[in-house]
Amino acid sequence: MFVIRSEMPGDAASIEPLLDRCFGVDRQQKTSYRYRDGVPPLADLAFVAADEDQKLVGAIRYWPVRLDRQPALLLGPLAIDPERQGRGIGRALVFHSLEIAAAAAHRLVFLVGDPAYYARFGFAVAPPGIVMPSESPARLNYRVLDPNLRLPRTGILKPLIVTPSSPADVDTHPATAGRPNAIAMASAIH
Ligand SMILES: CC(C)(COP(=O)(O)OP(=O)(O)OC[C@H]1O[C@@H](n2cnc3c(N)ncnc32)[C@H](O)[C@@H]1OP(=O)(O)O)[C@@H](O)C(=O)NCCC(=O)NCCS
């Protein structure tokens, strides 16, 4: 049995070793981590799964990104304790977090992962014109949460940065704008 709950500050100490077990200790070399550098995960979309002994057995986080100027989410990492995989925990975390994201008016989600797993959540491989530099196009998945949003045919996925280099860089991402330590849109990609 497991429960899904919001991530709490003390959970990070359990999440980091879980991510190391699932993705390896060199996981921070992955391209997707360049989209997280200096940017905290979105607290409202960070969830964990805990077992009957309150042990943390799964976690999901999202980061704010942009498809050019279109605000979007980057789902991940999603990690389930290897001893608890295949029991629906990943499914529960993804469905729950996507429901909260849609309710919070997020419109577009990207992730880097196996399309064979994520198709069940409504994700599809991004069209060729949508690019996440240095990432395999075959593993770039997207899902539109707002039925009124049409995915542009072309676009570059961009990270956010913490230091605005010009007024044009000031953050207008709906998930982070106006918050302390305001995050600005990156004008260049890594
Ligand atoms: C991938 C992962 C998140 C799935 O979570 P989970 O709780 O084990 O999966 P669920 O119980 O929700 O779903 C199990 C189903 O997913 C399938 N599945 C699991 N990983 C898969 C993959 N990489 N590709 C295709 N299908 C996959 C299983 O075969 C099973 O299929 P079934 O429902 O037809 O039997 C988990 O195995 C994990 O943490 N893996 C290591 C880290 C990782 O790869 N994370 C995802 C990339 S961000």
Q: Is residue 105 part of a domain?
A: yes
Pairing of strands 155-158, 130-131: parallel
Helix (H, G, I), strand (E, B) or coil at 37: coil
**pLDDT of residue 180 exceeding 50:** no
Does a structural domain hold residue 190?
no
pLDDT for residue 182 is more than 90? no
CA distance 66 to 74: 9
Residue 190 has pLDDT above 80, yes or no: no
Name the domain count of the chain.
1
Residue 86 in any domain: the answer is yes
For 17-41, what is each residue's pLDDT tens digit? Answer: 999 999 999 999 999 999 999 999 9
Give the structural domain span for 131. Answer: 2-185
Residue 171: predicted pLDDT: 61
| pLDDT band (50, 70, 90) for residue 178 | low
Cβ neighbours of residue 26 under 8 Å, at least 6 residues apart? none
CATH of residue 63's domain is 3.40.630.30
pLDDT at 160: 84
The pLDDT tens digits of the residues spanning 131-160 come to: 999 999 999 999 999 999 999 999 999 998
Closest ligand 1 atom to Cα of 81: 39
Is residue 84's pLDDT more than 80?
Answer: yes
Among 117, 132, 141, which is best to mutate for testing ligand 1, by the most ligand atoms less than 8 A from CB?
Answer: 117
Q: How far apart are CA 183 and CA 177, in angstroms?
A: 7
What was the pLDDT predicted at 41?
A: 96
Mean pLDDT of the 55-81 span:
97
Of the chain, the end-to-end C-alpha distance in Å amounts to: 42
CA of 79 to the centre of ligand 1 (A): 9
For residues 63-90, give the mean pLDDT: 97
Pocket test for ligand 1, best of 56, 61, 80 (most atoms within 8 A of CB): 80
Q: In the predicted model, is pLDDT for residue 161 greater than 90? A: no
In this prediction the pTM is 0.89
d(C-alpha 131, C-alpha 67), whole Å: 9
Out of 27, 85, 123, 135, mutate this one to test ligand 1's pocket (max ligand atoms within 8 Å of CB): namely 85
Asked whether residue 117 is domain-assigned, the answer is: yes
The whole-angstrom separation of Cα 166 and Cα 94 is: 36
What per-residue confidence (pLDDT) applies to 150?
A: 95
Residue 88 CA, closest ligand 1 atom number? 11
Per-residue model confidence as pLDDT tens digits over 93-129 = 999 999 999 999 999 999 999 999 999 999 999 999 9
